[in-house]
Structure 1
């Protein structure tokens, strides 16, 4: 059973995203070299600040274009969704070849629309599900586009992005159990899925979106699924907030214009147009922005209270990760874990 025509999704997404800003061959080559060097330079800076130790080169760094990012995420989504597809096939039975082809083509187009939009926005991403230890993706056209839009110093901005994304690579490679834990949570969603529940979830989600008070995340809304998503939200808030704290902690020591970059970058987030804001809401990106904010508040509060070394108990195992509720109540996490 093919739930999504991934090749079609990549084709649609790549066409929507386009190539990005115009750059000469020399400029493109220089950006690739500088981003690779920025990632390598960031590893010891992140390790020294956080106390997390990892072997250099454990997970590869790939500097990609928009189409490369879209292909990588289509591959990742296919891996994550495979247990869900297996469950649906078991419960519903195999569809006819015609209905499967039509259905997967339509779904592929929808996924392609989403990837095409995101492919113009994402600056970098750590993919923890790529065997054996994950990989770091830096999207060169988007980084160049934003640095030009902000009138930022290119060298400073590229290193600033690398610090954030390299923190994610250190988080996962220093704690190899973390990627498997997230994959386990994704697989747990498959165990909760019933075909009738999917149809009902689509109806609820569509109604919420039409009413302006929902997102695609509303399509996964059974009590069991919400419980799993709450756990994942806690983890993602920790990861994103921790990366922001590291970026702001290390940045002033190596990036002369970091204050101006942060100020302009935060202002840029607020200045999105109506269509951009609507798409961000539908894709749940507003929730992601909240993860950066809430996660950073959690990390700073705990580190200020007990120090970085004690805070690092958070990386011991699944049981020491903060819940979604504890992200909003750091003292509750301290009381439970420390």
Structure 2
């Protein structure tokens, strides 16, 4: 880690855009130890086996037809930062496209670049695994991707005092459930992109499209909640200790980490996990997993913001 080099990269930010993305990535990596991805042949096979088992288990309990992405990477923290800079740039580019040169009035490029550096560095040190649907990608032919951040997985397993192999397997199952969702619902990426772009367009015009953001929040709550439901049914063996400890980790233990999580919207993500899980547990208990899977039949089957808190209302609507 080289904080001086990180500060220099931010200070040297240049270009015509509101954020110098190359400088942000360089600064984030300079402020973050990459960690090791030196794996034995057995460890690499263990990752591959976990993904295969997760695919088979999720297929069996859900009845969904899907496959995992061709791109499955074991990353260090710097790899994750490089992979996600493009995602953040696509999102911010959409904002700048709608807003023109007035997207960031009075805000210096250096400040924007520094803010993005902090975001990338914090997430790079904390993300365990990621299913990346490549939202807002330039080409629809770009393949989705599955990432495992090896040093973060080992560090989290040690901090939570759980078996590292079992913890890695748990992360694999969670990310594969997301692959199942997007694989079973080819329309989902476009649906999320449209809601995201609608919200960004109004924000850049100085207004707030409440409906667009409520629909986006509802859709993401479904994505997170359904994944939690499948995890409970597909993962082999006991999992309550892992779920409890991960829930504690999501809350953040120290005041500084809690502050970062609030600033980055990670508290919202935790609420999506909990609210979505409650919705699908009710559906599974009242009907079954097959009924819960109806959410992927089409956008019209997604529960509304209000239906997420009234699952019986959603059941009545889709069973008509």
Fold conserved between structures, TM > 0.5:
yes
The 1-side partners of 2:177 and 2:99 are apart by 36
> Normalization by structure 2: what TM-score?
0.85
Aligned to 2:202: 192
Cα shift at 1:68: 1.4
One of 207, 223, 231 as aligned partner of 1:247: 231
Aligned to 1:332: 313
Determine if the alignment matches structure 1 residue 282 to structure 2 residue 263: yes
Q: What is the correspondence of 1:222-241 to structure 2 with a 5 Å cutoff?
A: 222-224=207-209, 226-241=210-225
Aligned to 1:39: 51
CA contact (8 A) 2:37 2:150 kept: no
The 1-side partners of 2:150 and 2:110 are apart by 30
The 1-side partners of 2:267 and 2:126 are apart by 13
CA contact (8 A) 2:34 2:76 kept: yes
CA shift digits 1:134-188 (9 cap, x unpaired):
1111111111111111221222111111111100011112211111111111221
Cα RMSD (Å) of the superposition? 2.5
Aligned to 2:73: 62
CA contact (8 A) 1:298 1:330 kept: yes
Tell me, what secondary structure is at the counterpart of 1:17?
coil
Tell me, what secondary structure is at the counterpart of 1:294?
helix
CA contact (8 A) 2:252 2:258 kept: no
Aligned to 1:204: none
CA contact (8 A) 1:16 1:117 kept: no
Q: Which moved more, 1:279-288 or 1:302-311?
A: 302-311
Q: What is the correspondence of 1:118-267 to structure 2 with a 5 Å cutoff?
A: 118-129=123-134, 131-194=141-204, 197=206, 222-224=207-209, 226-251=210-235, 254-255=236-237, 258-267=239-248
CA separation of 1:104 and 1:163: change in aligned 2, threshold 3 A: same
CA contact (8 A) 2:128 2:153 kept: yes
One of 63, 70, 73 as aligned partner of 1:51: 63
CA shift digits 1:98-146 (9 cap, x unpaired):
x9xx943431221110111111111111111254341111111111111
The 2-side partners of 1:2 and 1:169 are apart by 33
Cα shift at 1:57: 4.4
Determine if the alignment matches structure 1 residue 107 to structure 2 residue 112: yes
The 1-side partners of 2:219 and 2:18 are apart by 27
Q: Which moved more, 1:131-140 or 1:231-240?
A: 131-140
Tell me, what secondary structure is at the counterpart of 1:324?
coil
Cα shift at 1:276: 0.8
Tell me, what secondary structure is at the counterpart of 1:138?
strand
CA shift digits 1:210-269 (9 cap, x unpaired):
xxxxxxxxxxxx441x32121111111111111112112222xx24x5333233333444
One of 93, 101, 125 as aligned partner of 1:82: 93
Tell me, what secondary structure is at the counterpart of 1:322?
coil
Which structure 2 residue ranges, 5 or more long, are not aligned?
1-15
CA contact (8 A) 1:80 1:183 kept: no
Cα shift at 1:24: 8.1
